[in-house]
Amino acid sequence: MVGTVRFATQVTTAQKLDVQLLSGFPRQVGNADAATRCKRCSATSRCRRHAAVTLSQQEPAARPATVIVQKQVKISSSFDAGNINVAEQPVVKDAQVEVGLEIVPEPFCETDSRAHFQWYYFRASGVRSKSCKFRVKNAGDASYEPGWQGYNSTASYDRQHWFRVPTTYDEETGELCIEHTPEKDVCYYAYFAPYSLERHADLVSWAVTEGNATATELGMTLDGYPLDLIVAGSGPTPIWIIARQHPGESMAEVQGAEERVGTLRLADGGMREAEACGGTGAWQWWMEGLIKRLLDSNDPLSASLLQKATFFMVPNVNPDGSRRGHLRTNAAGRNLNREWAKPSEEASPEVYHILKAMSSTGCDLFLDVHGDEALPYNFIAGGEGIPCWGPHLQDLQDRFKSAYMRDSPDFQVVHGYPEDEPGQANLTIGSNAVGEKFQCLSMTLEQPFKDTADTPRPEQGWCPERAMKFGESVLGAINEVIGDLRK
């Protein structure tokens, strides 16, 4: 008999199961005329064709034995962008669980003189209704340790809607503790809401099929992934926008290890020592928001901009690092935002191919989208320190920032990185290198891994939905300066 039997559990660790049973037909009762008949063909003998019977002529079935399934707590990260090691096996006591975890370091990065790590992404199963404590034992040695202060981890049951869960950092032990009682059997936890390579492929496909854009492969990465370029518009002004040089910034990132210790501007005009950080998430979500609005045929601002400019957009500069679960480097351990002076096909093909294409098209406006681990703000890091900087570029940058703040309350101009001294910009950094090479307005946009201090939403913090809206809003700022990019 084929049927579905629902067993009730008798212990808290067991769950109801639908068990598919396959056995022989129940024995017949009485004479042949009273034999069980197949519902579909009325056969009085065993119907092996349809394997379905009525139960009216059967003897009452014996009550099945209770099935108890012990749900074990398991941690895994064997998927796109996954990163975690189980350092201490789960300890389960009553309805409480504690697990010791470690983030896996990336290959050693010569320009930053360390093996980076901060991005984590893992799945916990067997955790429904259990009070879980996930202890990241090596958080104190992460690339940007101050980024843990005031940080709450993201979590999701369906990998679509991400929310924040209570997270604390102990400076003395260097341990990050994520505390959560999941409502489902399986829950995912990540440094920021991941943006998968599958979703990236969907975005490129949508752009060329529904958005009337074109797409091309600039080249291949070291792991064999295509470096996708989306092109939209027919105007004479070339605008380049890239994201996710640092793969852990699923929103993007700017300043590097050597710039990270500095002074931050405060609202009261004072200064304080801080470490500016970078990271894989909101940056590419930001790009999706931008691309989908730009290619919306019913948006009048987008239509106007596409007549004035041609947009060259690279949503994910570092697909290798994204898939590997890296924070800052590609497959070769290179920090791509330190490769813009002399990129090579052997170590940094991503930057090499972008610069090669940019040299052919020219560039009047460059925007590099990143994320910052420590600062709870959206802000622009400008090109004040490049040799060609002058009043014209300063005016363009000021107008761009003012327009962005006008169109998005999530943007602000008070907090950010300290400006470089004149002529002292690091020209290995993307926005500085492009600004100097093409003598154009070139900026880095930073987004937070945390929540925004000025416009907080504690349930989700800075999240994919907000990042996409923030990406849509940038078109007003571009429109503000597009007519004056060249004197």
User: Are the beta carbons of 380 and 397 closer than 8 angstroms?
Assistant: yes
What number of other Cβ atoms are within 10 A of residue 10's Cβ? Answer: 9
Tokens representing residue 195 in the block: 């943006």
- The DSSP element (H or E) to which 133 belongs, if any, is strand 131-136
Report DSSP letters for 45-89, one per residue: S--TTT----STTSPPPPPPPPP------EEE--STT-B-EEEEE
Tell me how far apart the alpha carbons of residues 173 and 163 are, in angstroms, rounded to a whole number.
26
Nearby residues of 196 by Cβ (< 8 Å), 6 or more positions away: 80, 81
User: Are the beta carbons of 90 and 97 closer than 8 angstroms?
Assistant: yes
User: Are the beta carbons of 311 and 299 closer than 8 angstroms?
Assistant: no
Tell me how far apart the alpha carbons of residues 223 and 265 are, in angstroms, rounded to a whole number.
40
* Dihedral sign from CA coordinates of 90, 86, 464, 232: negative
CA distances from 240 to 18, 164, 282, 309, 368 (A): 54, 33, 19, 10, 8
- The DSSP element (H or E) to which 131 belongs, if any, is strand 131-136
What number of other Cβ atoms are within 10 A of residue 126's Cβ? Answer: 19
Q: Write the DSSP symbol of residue 8.
A: P
What residues act catalytically? 446
Nearby residues of 392 by Cβ (< 8 Å), 6 or more positions away: 487
H helix intervals, 227-348: 282-294, 300-308, 319-324
Report DSSP letters for 191-205, one per residue: SS----HHHHHHHHH
H helix intervals, 389-429: 391-407
| Nearest-5° Cα angle at 124, 118 to 125 | 170
- The DSSP element (H or E) to which 433 belongs, if any, is helix 430-438
